């Protein structure tokens, strides 16, 4: 959003009546779908400062930079973490099965997926937003090349309840994945035990702008997820 706004304002600054346009923008009343961007673009098109081809290129670039912005509009935590994230993973790895007592007599809701009749998998998901902003989630959503600070907190982590953890992290323009054996997560220096008082075996981990590089060895891509899960299982039981 910042790149788009800066580009449009730069074009407006080159117009003879730029001051008048900026003043109008300051007092502009926005009602969906008519807002400041609609006003700036239509003004630039009308003054022939922006051609139709330029507009199409601008639009395509914006869509590419914000391919996953809609995910930040999912307000309910369960809607994001369970409905979207788990559904997304099953699209990438159709072999993932929903657990049940029939498949695992010890199952009591402690993990999310079952694979190969033996691998228990827990999914944790978060979204990268500007840590210092108080704006709405979709407004403070970050692009993957942003230098703004972020803090993605993977909560209610219970290493004793599964073999493998899959982390899903969403930016405006990218989705990234990490796959860790349960014991690797538990031993990680960034894993904090005792998230809630009295909850034995539960903790949390903050994936931040200043420590994300430390997890490079666990990162994978969508088409390699199933192999990464199986490899993590082997490490867990090595």
Q: What pLDDT shows up at residue 30? A: 84
Q: What pLDDT shows up at residue 188? A: 95
Q: What pLDDT shows up at residue 70? A: 92
Q: Are residues 168 and 209 in the same domain?
A: yes
d(CA 10, CA 57): 16
Q: What pLDDT shows up at residue 195? A: 54
Q: What pLDDT shows up at residue 152? A: 94
Q: What pLDDT shows up at residue 98? A: 95
Which pLDDT band holds residue 119 (cuts at 50, 70, 90)? very high
Q: Are residues 100 and 163 in the same domain?
A: yes
Of 117 and 198, more confident: 117
Count Cβ atoms below 10 Å from residue 97 Cβ, excluding itself.
15
Is the pLDDT assigned to residue 169 strictly greater than 90? Answer: yes
Instruction: Tell me how many domains the chain contains.
Output: 2
Helix (H, G, I), strand (E, B) or coil at 135: coil
Q: What pLDDT shows up at residue 201? A: 73
Tell me the whole-structure pTM to 2 decimals. 0.82
Can you read off the two tokens belonging to residue 156? 């209610």
Domain boundary among 65, 87, 102: 65
Residue 194 zone, left/alpha/beta (φ > 0; ψ -120 to 50; rest): left
Can you read off the two tokens belonging to residue 34? 């008519």
Is the pLDDT assigned to residue 200 strictly greater than 70? Answer: no
Mean pLDDT of the chain: 91
d(CA 53, CA 157): 49
Q: Are 114 and 166 in contact (CB under 8 A)?
A: no
Q: Are residues 98 and 138 in the same domain?
A: yes
Q: What is the DSSP letter of 109?
A: S
Q: Are residues 82 and 28 in the same domain?
A: no
Residue pLDDT, tens place only, 216-226: 999 999 999 99
Q: Are 128 and 141 in contact (CB under 8 A)?
A: yes
Q: Are residues 61 and 74 in the same domain?
A: no
């Amino acid at each position: 959003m910042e790149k788009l706004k800066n580009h449009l304002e730069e074009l407006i600054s080159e117009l003879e009546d730029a001051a008048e346009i900026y003043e109008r923008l300051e007092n502009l009343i926005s009602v969906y779908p008519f807002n400041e961007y609609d006003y700036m673009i239509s003004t630039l098109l009308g003054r022939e400062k922006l051609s139709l081809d330029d507009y199409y290129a601008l639009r395509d670039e914006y869509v590419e930079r914000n391919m996953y912005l809609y995910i930040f509009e999912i307000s309910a935590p369960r809607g994001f973490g369970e409905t979207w994230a788990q559904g997304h993973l099953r699209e990438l790895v159709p072999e993932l099965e929903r657990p049940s007592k029939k498949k695992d007599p010890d199952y009591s809701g402690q993990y999310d997926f079952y694979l190969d009749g033996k691998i228990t998998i827990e999914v944790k998901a978060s979204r990268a937003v500007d840590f210092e902003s108080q704006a709405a989630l979709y407004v403070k959503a970050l692009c993957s090349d942003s230098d703004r600070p972020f803090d993605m907190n993977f909560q209610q982590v219970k290493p004793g309840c599964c073999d493998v953890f899959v982390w899903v992290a969403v930016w405006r323009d990218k989705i990234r994945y990490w796959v860790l054996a349960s014991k690797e997560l538990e031993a990680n220096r960034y894993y904090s035990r005792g998230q809630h008082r009295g909850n034995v075996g539960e903790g949390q981990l903050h994936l931040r702008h200043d420590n994300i590089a430390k997890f490079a060895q666990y990162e994978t891509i969508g088409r390699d997820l199933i192999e990464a899960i199986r490899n993590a299982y082997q490490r867990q039981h090595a």
